[in-house]
Amino acid sequence: MIPDAAAPELRKDQRHVFALVPRGARVLDLGCGDGALLAALVEHRGVRGHGVEIDDDRILDCVRRGLSVVHEDLDEGLAVHADKSSDYVILSQTLQATRDPRRLLHKMARVGHASVVSFPNFGYWRVRLSLLFRGRMPKSPQLPYAWYDTPNIHLCTIADFDDLVRAEGFVVQRRILLNGRGNPMRTSFMAGWRASSAIYLLRH
């Protein structure tokens, strides 16, 4: 099931993040990119949304969409955002590109009541087999970069993320695992192999 046909313009994984955010919530989207998800949330969900982005061209896209967006480096901190100023802090497909993911998760817990974190699963079977048989750092539509030229400096598997979440004391309220086609998996059987990406809803 693909939730909410109200936002057909979104990527499949974004639609699942979209569906986790209730109407009228206060949302902070970290690494909001061109603002597609945030704009959909503002338009269809009536959220009070702010974005954070570092790239000039993407900020321009956000301004064109009329979004509230702050030019900020996630690795530098979320200094301009007040404690618990958001209901949901979204980190969509960005965690793996940050310098200190653990610290960022704690900062998200500071500024929000809940975090929505999505990331590609480095334990996905295609990734494992690619490394096993080709002996080279895997590339895929989700991970298209060469090892020497990738923004993804902190890739992890679902098991890795579960470990971190447990160790840091975050509460997992929901976990959505997406298969290779981007559809939610019905069972968690062999999830660490079968999921190509994961979306976590963490409560603080």
Residues that bind other proteins (CB under 8 A): 26, 48, 50, 56, 59-60, 62-72, 79-82, 85
Q: Which is nearer to other proteins, 54 or 185 (CB)?
A: 54
Least distance from other proteins to the Cβ atom of residue 151, Å: 19
Q: Rounded to the nearest whole angstrom, what is the least distance from the CB of residue 166 to other proteins in the complex?
A: 32
Is 111 or 191 the residue whose CB approaches other proteins more closely? Answer: 111
Nearest approach, Cβ of residue 79 and other proteins (Å): 7
DSSP for the chain reads ----TT-TTS-HHHHHHHHHSPTT-EEEEET-TTSHHHHHHHHHH--EEEEEE--HHHHHHHHHTT-EEEE--TTT--TTSPTT-EEEEEEES-GGGSS-HHHHHHHHHHHEEEEEEEEEBTT-HHHHHIIIII-S----SSS-S-GGG-S--S-B-HHHHHHHHHHHT-EEEEEEEE-TTSPBPS--TTHHHH-SEEEEEEE-
CB of 81 to other proteins, least distance (A): 6
Query: If 0-12 CB within 10 Å is exposed, 13-18 middle and 19+ buried, where does residue 134 land?
Result: exposed
- The number of beta carbons lying within 10 Å of the beta carbon of residue 6 is 14
Q: How far is the CB of 29 from other proteins (least distance, A)?
A: 14
The amino acid occupying position 95 is L
Closer CB to other proteins, residue 69 or residue 114? Answer: 69
Q: Which is nearer to other proteins, 40 or 127 (CB)?
A: 40
CB of 50 or CB of 107, closer to other proteins: 50
Residue 70 Cβ vs other proteins, minimum distance, rounded to whole Å: 5
- Give 27 or 143: the residue with its C-beta nearer to other proteins: 27
What is d(CA 135, CA 15) in angstroms, rounded to the nearest whole number? 34
